[in-house]
Structure 1
Amino acid sequence: MAKLFRKVVVLAGAAEAARRYARKNPEKVNRMAESAGRFVDKQTKGKYRDRINTVVRKVRTQTGPDQPTA
């Protein structure tokens, strides 16, 4: 159980670091998300295009200029 708790704590720390990076570098994050989306779409031959586009849109809304910087 302690091993699982440690893994959850590490994952939570990584997620927070990713959120801070996204807040400080929204343009880079958006470019990377769009590039990754195009790559995955190409690799899956468009099979998951709608889902990929939804995720990329969500990234853009989370990194938009109206998001709090705290």
Structure 2
Amino acid sequence: MGMFKKLAVLAGAAGAVGSYVKKNPEKVNQAVDKAARFADQKTKGKYSDKINGVTQKVSDATKPRPAH
């Protein structure tokens, strides 16, 4: 598969993910929280700060934006 075709596929997937996140922010946050707990448990807390930072960024990104 050519590089441009791969980029087009990735762009389409990113668009689909963005659409899903906008429609289902609660489900996304739940899934991220579950994955974060799993990763934290498997790493025995070694990367807790980094995991919590990513979880917070996702939470911030899924908050509803005020309409202008």
Give the TM-score of the pair, scaled to structure 2.
0.88
Count of residue pairs brought into register by the alignment: 67
Deviation at residue 67 of structure 1 after TM alignment? 6.4
Deviation at residue 16 of structure 1 after TM alignment? 1.0
Structure 2: runs of 5 or more not aligned: none
Structure 1: runs of 5 or more not aligned: none
1:9 corresponds to: 8
Provide the secondary structure at the position in 1 that maps to 2:2.
helix
Q: Distance in 1 between matches of 2:51 and 2:13?
A: 23
Amino acid in the other structure paired with 1:35: K
Amino acid in the other structure paired with 2:55: V
Identity of paired residues, percent?
Answer: 51
